[in-house]
Amino acid sequence: MCMLSRNATFNSHGQDSSYFLGWQEYEKTPYHEVHNTNGIIQMGLAENQLCFDLLESWLAKNPEAAAFKKNGESIFAELALFQDYHGLPAFKKAMVDFMAEIRGNKVTFDPNHLVLTAGATSANETFIFCLADPGEVLLIPTPYYPGFDRDSKWRTGVAIVPIHCTSSNGFQITETALEEAYQEAEKRNLRVKGVLVTNPSNPLGTTMTRNELYLLLSFVEDKGIHLISDEIYSGTAFSTPSFRSVMEVLKDRNCDENSEVWQRVHVVYSLSKDLGLPGFRVGAIYSNDDMVVAAATKMSSFGLVSSQTQHLLSAMLSDRKLTKNYIAENHKRLKQRQKNLVSGLQKAGISCLNGNAGLFCWVDMRHLLRSNTFEAEMELWKKIVYEVHLNISPGSSCHCTEPGWFRVCFANLPERTLDLAMQRLKAFVGEYYNVPEVNGRSQSSHLSHSRGQSLRKWVSRLSFDDRCPIHGR
Amino acid sequence: MASSASENRLLLSRIATNEKHGENSPYFDGWKAYDQNPFHLTENPEGVIQMGLAENQLSFDLVEEWIRKNPKASICTAEGIEKFRSVANFQDYHGLPEFRQAIASFMWKARGGRVTFGPHRVVMSGGATGANELVMFCLANRGDAFLIPSPYYPAFYRDLGWRTGVQIVPVDCDSSNNFKITKEALEAAYGKAQNNNINVKGLIITNPSNPLGTTLDKDTLESLVTFINQKNIHLVCDEIYAATVFSSPKFTCITEVIQNMNCNPNLIHIVYSLSKDMGFPGLRVGIVYSYNDDVVNIGRKMSSFGLVSSQTQHMLASMLSDEDFVEKFLTTSAKRLAKRHGVFTDGLEEVGINCLKSNAGLFCWMDLRRLLRDQTFDGEMVLWRVIVNEVKLNVSPGSSFKCVEPGWFRVCFANMDDDTVEVALKRIRAFVGQAKKAQEQAQVKSPKKRWQSNLRLSFSSSSRRFEQEGVSVMSPRMMSPHSPMPHSPLLRATT
């Protein structure tokens, strides 16, 4: 008799995927600029480490927030005892105000519709528990964050059917792709409960176009299903077109509480990416549906936010001067850093999807593949991890349908380390194409053939913009 | 046109729309009564005193003093800020190494240094609530069952079964032997499950017990270990009240027991938390400690859904590794709990109310059987409503803990100051005194009548009024998710 549950024995936690294996390799020999200069540089981790100084200087000026004090009085006991799953009211107010500010105050949020959870990981899982039964389906556009396999499926028993997006149109969601995914589920006699999108997208590093959002809303309206918009990167949209939340589009379409779709559109948020505070485990669910809010609130018992952290962040986020400055500075630094990465990649003859958000680039290495297959992608990835000593995430781990794409993060390492990573990559690519011919047999001819092919592709890459022009989005 | 509420219901999951969170029950009337009219010594001295909340508020002064003296423990002070970014960025589900070490060390100290714990087995979770659910997800499939000795913490219904689909099979314990768990009761529960084709995956015990306030003796623990080994099922020990033991017998941790027995360690798991021992429910520190490597491994991955805030981990790593502080805290806390327990139980005894003899926990298991109109759960409800609405004390009726005998009530004593305890005791004295007077008067008129039925006459009008108000709607502000959520005796877990 199996002693543990199915949850414990199957690997639907998804942590055997290459996304996580790359991390493991990194853990074995992490790069250090003094102690391990040949170690693996971590570029597979979507963290935002660019603006800690702003938070640190705020803390230095606001000691009370941290010292369990309010108006000079100790509130430790009050905080230590506070376990109400409705959350600290001041914190929820500060959160919704911050969320509105990120969206240029084009939409506002009601704190009574916000549910706090232990990170976006918990928020996504909680949503799925509320919206779908085991065996039901969630549609997710590819490529998507590998952790969704765990967050959405593992303990909930819900299945994912991908909405296939391709480079032909910059991986935008199309009506055809949506319909095909829906039909696929129907063919398998599975009930579709909703669509989960990430906007800005992980791993693409792009914001959704108005067209895509309209399309999604029409689709979910037509099918009578939910739309969950994971907007945890909303504060990282550093250049035009500006981030457009699904809530804004609902407003544009004059959808309010009297419209059918109003209650079926939900948002996930977190402070892990925008503020760079993944350790604090601050996630949130936002829904217009009272029943969802009620159910999610009860469920949040399983993963509440530490009251100590709520108190600190409530003070921080209520400081409008800080938030305004932070948002602007964050954009500026991310934009610069992304530019450095893109330029470094270009020097290595590598291009990426034209991104305007996120903490990563979606990099096109198709021309470096031995063949247009996922085996070749894995081969290339292993070379990059084990020989070039860069941990980047292969597109297959993000369920991309085309081999050769990689997610490369740029905001979780110092600039000089990023430069070093680009130098290594450039050297690798140079070497890859300049391997000395080996006794004139097919191997060398294969290499020169592929080199020629790759060069041609490389040249065409430089002149062809994969992504639709900005003004059309 | 907006979707109708029923259409929307269909669009949500069964979990979201069923009642298995256990919160929609008339028993929340007690909470409502408190919330609408909370006691305050000076501002609302006639208000309802909250005695339904198992919180430990007796030793915050020690913690506050430590925090003042240790600014480095906070990543936000001038002394500690150099750690800010590395801590804020730290989301590794292994937890901060120093945090795990500190937890292992604290668990060791809280058990009198009699057993040691390895940091490598410490898995974080979102409070004990998250820990219990996580353990179920690891050990049982939907439809499987866990045996639980009654009376038990009401929210187990939610924590163990709501999202996991695991069933609870109660193991009946009663006052004939002070609610001890017997082999016969275990076998009976197990057999009943088998007869109903229910797959029992394990037994979960709370030691020290909530609501009894007692520790399990070594013999009982050994017999439980023997039982689960024989059946090859898991044993989950919820030890969240371990450091609330304030008098003998000393606490015997499950680890001590299995060290001296032939036991499959893969079946043994401990749930721990700082919510009760330290009084930190708001910090959401839950721990799963398993002797099963696979459970540790998978549990760790699952803990992603409820990690402890790294800010909190950092502070507690510092606090709990301060051996002098921990020693002082544990000793002082136990002393204060003992004193409070003594004051309260003595006060009750003075008016002829007995409690189960207890040596741990933040509450007493009060015996009010002789005050029941009828020795039924309806009778218990009548009495309970009187206590809430007339005596103005929110206590928890035994039926909400699935107690098989009516008339027992859990009353918490560590979540208030000394003055409030005095007021509560005064009210109880007045209430019992009133009942006795009514009895004496009745005996003068009609000597044969039992005094319980006069109690019924005295209070029936108030209970009728109460029932006429109907089932109340839960006030949004009042719910503390980890307080005992009374469970209607009419909703029995199906077995």
Domain B19-60+328-433: assigned CATH number? 3.90.1150.10
Do A315 and A62 contact (CB within 8 A), yes or no?
yes
Give the pLDDT confidence score for residue B33 in this predicted structure: 84
d(CA B83, nearest CA chain A) in Å: 10
What are the beta bridge partners of residue B424? none
Helix (H, G, I), strand (E, B) or coil at B217: coil
Chain A positions in Cβ-Cβ contact with residue B162 (cut-off 8 Å): 299
Nearest to A129 among B8, B13, B76 (CB): B13
Mean pLDDT of the B381-390 span:
93
Beta-strand (E) ranges in A308-402? 351-352, 360-364, 390-391, 393-394
Q: How confident is the model at residue B464 (pLDDT cuts 50, 70, 90)?
A: very low
Nearest to B301 among A13, A260, A277 (CB): A13
Is the pLDDT confidence value at A451 over 80? no
Give phi and psi for B93, each to the nearest 5.
Answer: -70, -5
Q: Which of B304, B255, B316, B306 is nearest to B113 (CA)?
A: B255
d(CA B202, nearest CA chain A) in Å: 10
Nearest to A81 among B23, B282, B310 (CB): B282
Among B231, B296, B304, pick the best mutation site for testing chain A contact (most A Cβ within 10 A). Answer: B304
Nearest to A76 among B67, B234, B275 (CB): B67
Give the pLDDT confidence score for residue B466 in this predicted structure: 35
**Which stretch of B76-80, B188-192, B309-313, B402-406 has the lowest confidence by average pLDDT?**
B76-80
Percentage of residues in chain B having pLDDT higher than 70: 86
> Which residues fall within 8 angstroms of residue A166, CB to CB, at 6 or more apart?
A401, A402
What DSSP line would sit under B413-447, residue for residue? Answer: -SSS-HHHHHHHHHHHHHHHHHHHHHHHHHHHH-T
Mean pLDDT of the A294-318 span:
95
Is the pLDDT confidence value at A453 over 50? no
Q: Which of B203, B275, B188 is nearest to B234 (CA)?
A: B203
d(CA A250, nearest CA chain B) in Å: 14
Q: How confident is the model at residue A2 (pLDDT cuts 50, 70, 90)?
A: low
Whether residue B353 lies in the annotated active site: no
Give the pLDDT confidence score for residue B446 in this predicted structure: 60
Q: How confident is the model at residue A7 (pLDDT cuts 50, 70, 90)?
A: confident
Is the pLDDT confidence value at B434 over 90? no
Distance, in Å, from the CA atom of A231 to the CA atom of A216, rounded to the nearest integer, reads 15
Taking CB atoms and an 8 Å cut-off, how many pairs form between chains A and B? 262
Choose, from B29, B144, B172, B238, the residue flagged as catalytic.
Answer: B238
Using only the alpha carbons of chain A, give its radius of gyration: 23
Q: Show the 3-state SS of chain B.
A: CCCCHHHHHHHCCHHHHCCCCCCCCCCHHHHHHHHHCECECCCECCCEEECCCCCCCCCHHHHHHHHHHCHHHCCCCCCCHHHHHHHHCCCCCCCCHHHHHHHHHHHHHHCCCCCCCCHHHEEEEEHHHHHHHHHHHHHCCCCCEEEEECCCCCCHHHHHHCCCCCEEEEECCCHHHCCCCCHHHHHHHHHHHHHCCCCEEEEEEECCCCCCCCCCCHHHHHHHHHHHHHHCCEEEEECCCHHHCCCCCCCCCHHHHHHCCCCCHHHEEEEEECCCCCCCHHHCEEEEEECCHHHHHHHHHHHHHCCCCHHHHHHHHHHHCCHHHHHHHHHHHHHHHHHHHHHHHHHHHHCCCEECCCCCCCEEEEECHHHCCCCCHHHHHHHHHHHHHHHCEECEEHHHHCCCCCCEEEEECCCCCHHHHHHHHHHHHHHHHHHHHHHHHHHHHCCCCCHHHHHHHHHHHHHHHHHHCCCCCCCCCCCCCCCCCCCCCCCCCCC
> Domain map of chain B by residue range?
19-60+328-433, 73-321
d(CA B124, nearest CA chain A) in Å: 11
- Within this chain, domains B19-60+328-433 and B73-321 share the same CATH topology: no
Tens of pLDDT along A372-385?
999 999 999 999 99
Take residue B448 and report the two structure tokens written for it.
């044969």
d(CA A435, nearest CA chain B) in Å: 40
Choose, from A232, A285, A350, A384, the residue flagged as catalytic.
Answer: A232
Give the pLDDT confidence score for residue A470 in this predicted structure: 24
Q: How confident is the model at residue B18 (pLDDT cuts 50, 70, 90)?
A: confident
Among A83, A192, A272, pick the best mutation site for testing chain B contact (most B Cβ within 10 A). Answer: A83
Give the pLDDT confidence score for residue A22 in this predicted structure: 85
Chain A positions in Cβ-Cβ contact with residue B77 (cut-off 8 Å): 63, 66-67
Q: What is the DSSP letter of A305?
A: P
Tens of pLDDT along B123-170?
999 999 999 999 999 999 999 999 999 999 999 999 999 999 999 999
Q: Which of A255, A260, A282, A253 is nearest to A269 (CA)?
A: A282
Residue for token pair 């009778």: B379
Q: How confident is the model at residue A23 (pLDDT cuts 50, 70, 90)?
A: confident
Please give the model's pTM, rounded to 2 decimal places. Answer: 0.89
Task: Please measure the distance between the N-terminal and C-terminal CA atoms of chain B and give it in whole angstroms.
Answer: 43
Choose, from B168, B240, B268, B353, the residue flagged as catalytic.
Answer: B240
Interface confidence (ipTM) of the complex: 0.88
**Cβ separation B81–A59 shorter than 8 A:** yes
What DSSP line would sit under A70-100, residue for residue? Answer: ETTEE-HHHHHH---TT--HHHHHHHHHHHH
Take residue B73 and report the two structure tokens written for it.
């423990």
Distances from the Cα of B270 to the Cα of A55, B125, B288, B289, angstroms: 38, 13, 6, 5
Do A302 and A121 contact (CB within 8 A), yes or no?
no
What are the beta bridge partners of residue B355? B366
Tens of pLDDT along B54-84?
999 999 999 999 999 999 999 888 899 999 9
Give the pLDDT confidence score for residue A258 in this predicted structure: 77
What are the beta bridge partners of residue A361? A408
Chain A positions in Cβ-Cβ contact with residue B138 (cut-off 8 Å): 4-5, 7-8
Tens of pLDDT along A242-289?
999 999 999 888 888 778 899 999 999 999 999 999 999 999 999 999
Domain A6-52+323-431 - what CATH class? alpha beta
Do B158 and B491 contact (CB within 8 A), yes or no?
no
Q: How confident is the model at residue B447 (pLDDT cuts 50, 70, 90)?
A: low
Q: How confident is the model at residue B87 (pLDDT cuts 50, 70, 90)?
A: very high
Tell me which chain A residue has its CA closest to the CA of residue B415: A81
Tens of pLDDT along B393-428?
999 999 999 999 999 999 999 999 999 999 999 999
**Cβ separation B129–A257 shorter than 8 A:** no
Whether residue A232 lies in the annotated active site: yes
Tens of pLDDT along B314-373?
999 999 999 999 999 999 999 999 999 999 999 999 999 999 999 999 999 999 999 998
**Cβ separation B295–A5 shorter than 8 A:** no
- Tell me the H-state helices in A67-209: 76-81, 89-102, 119-131, 148, 175-187
**Higher pLDDT, residue A217 or B34:** A217
Among A301, A305, A312, A322, pick the best mutation site for testing chain B contact (most B Cβ within 10 A). Answer: A301
Do A345 and A410 contact (CB within 8 A), yes or no?
no
Chain B positions in Cβ-Cβ contact with residue A125 (cut-off 8 Å): 305
**Which stretch of A21-25, A289-293, B79-83, B98-102 has the lowest confidence by average pLDDT?**
A21-25
> Domain map of chain A by residue range?
6-52+323-431, 64-319
**Cβ separation A133–B308 shorter than 8 A:** no
Distance, in Å, from the CA atom of B332 to the CA atom of A80, rounded to the nearest integer, reads 19
Distance, in Å, from the CA atom of B442 to the CA atom of B318, rounded to the nearest integer, reads 63
Q: Say which CATH architecture domain B73-321 belongs to.
A: 3-Layer(aba) Sandwich (3.40)
Nearest to B2 among A129, A258, A304 (CB): A258
**Cβ separation B89–A77 shorter than 8 A:** no
Distances from the Cα of B173 to the Cα of B154, B230, B251, B399, angstroms: 15, 21, 20, 13
Give the pLDDT confidence score for residue A377 in this predicted structure: 97
Chain B positions in Cβ-Cβ contact with residue A120 (cut-off 8 Å): none
Is the pLDDT confidence value at A134 over 70? yes
Nearest to A76 among B64, B142, B309 (CB): B64
Is the pLDDT confidence value at A232 over 90? yes
Whether residue A40 lies in the annotated active site: no
Chain B positions in Cβ-Cβ contact with residue A89 (cut-off 8 Å): none
Whether residue B276 lies in the annotated active site: yes
Q: How confident is the model at residue B26 (pLDDT cuts 50, 70, 90)?
A: low
Residue for token pair 């059309």: A472
Chain A positions in Cβ-Cβ contact with residue B126 (cut-off 8 Å): 118, 122, 301-304
Chain A positions in Cβ-Cβ contact with residue B63 (cut-off 8 Å): 76, 80
> Which residues fall within 8 angstroms of residue A383, CB to CB, at 6 or more apart?
A428
* One CATH from 3.20.20.70, 3.40.640.10, 3.30.465.10, 3.40.50.12780 for A64-319: 3.40.640.10
Give the pLDDT confidence score for residue A19 in this predicted structure: 66
Q: What is the DSSP letter of A312?
A: H
Percentage of residues in chain B having pLDDT higher than 90: 77
Is the pLDDT confidence value at A13 over 80? no
Residue for token pair 């230095």: A60
d(CA B212, nearest CA chain A) in Å: 23
